[in-house]
Structure 1
Amino acid sequence: MNRIEQAIAAQRSNDTEGKLLSIYFTAGYPNLEDTVEVIKILEKSGVGMIEIGLPFSDPLADGPTIQASSTQALDNGMTTEVLFEQLTGIREEVSIPLIIMGYFNPMLQYGIEAFCKKCAEIGVDGLIIPDLPVEVFHNEYATIFEKYGLINVFLITPQTSDQRITYIDDISKGFIYMVSSASTTGAKNTFDEEQLSYFERINNLELKTPRVIGFGISNKETFEQATAHADGAIIGSAFVKFLKGNSVDAIPEFVKRISPSLT
């Protein structure tokens, strides 16, 4: 069983069901050599899963905070090759699921099979590729991912039809990434009625695949709102913004503010 599936299954079997906290950060930000240290401290702080952003020059789905972090990381010298070098040996120190989130172009340039092979070698458990159409993945790349034991996580939004969500559910492994709104990434203080209605709508579909909610989660309130309707929640922009003004040693304080039971 993939580590992503193990983590969600373990979460569902204990007293904090639905409270999985996943943190996104941009590799090589705020400093090039921060990547591994951020991962290690996040795990020690009780985070259940980590999404490592592979910076890209044209991150269309990202809000200004993550776009700025990608620009900084690229300026710092982060590349696909550098990230793989940094993550070599990571499984000697870290056991929680690691997911690379990035755009398709850098992976295509590296070579899809070569990219997947390298991910498997260093212990990456899955990928999130926002600009890779589901059908293209399913028809052209699914067998490569299966060969290397990688999960490809699909995204749904409030605009995704029930029919398409059911199709995604049928072919998904690990979890479905529920985007909380149709806008780009960015922190919010609370969810509105339209978003909460969307969460309920997805619950009523009774999907077989666990769901994790992302976009707009920035504090204890939004984390609890999200995890009341899904198996977990993802915090990205708020954490990236935190890293800009704080040392990595302060990460446990950030995690504690989101979910005091984790630290």
Structure 2
Amino acid sequence: MAWESSGGWQSGRASEVDSVLMQESQRAFMTRVHGWMFAGLALTGVMAAVTLSNTAMLQAVAQYRMGLLLVQFGVVMALSFLAPRISGPVAAALFLGYSALTGVTLSVLFLIYTAGSIAQVFFITAAVYGTMAVYGTVTKKDLSGWKTFLYMGLVGIVIAGIVNLFMRNDAVSFVTACAGVLIFAGLTAYDIQKLREYHAGTGYKSTATVSIVGALTLYLDFINLFLSLMRLLGKRR
């Protein structure tokens, strides 16, 4: 009986140690993910400022913005679908390249909105993102049920946005911006929980590439949340 008690105690102790190690590993993983995400956001800001300070570059962006957006889309698809086959350095280069290109294309916002309102909306975005990220981290509720609603809403926003390129209807723009805030705030919490669960499923096998792809996912949530809020709250020049 003493041996059985000792064995049970040792087994329980080992499980407790494994749980602590897993939590520490998960915390380190999410720290890496957010580290890459914040690095991407910082690079985006720097490139927006560089582009804004160069008149010729800014004019080129305004002229070829649609082509740049297509290049951005291609980089996202490449990083998402080729992630299992590419190394960490390649994934990092693609992510940082995408972040830089996003900064170049977003520089035109300073021609549309006042600098003060852009700064204000950025901090509002950070507050909303932070709130939803904390919720996705601490909630015990399974957010997988949100997936269908969020992705259907995302598809609807994209379709409405494409249609409104030709209609240029302010009411449609307002509705899609409101929907965008809800969808991307929800996706932030959902993606945070999904990344944590993915790490829990793979244990200690999460690679640098996985961290960068996770950073890209959260980066896109943040940027799209920012753009939706900008359309609602931004003060035009």
More helix per residue: 2
Higher RCO (CA < 8 A, seq sep 6+): 2
More strand per residue: 1
The structure whose Rg is larger is: 2
Normalising by structure 1, report the TM-score: 0.23
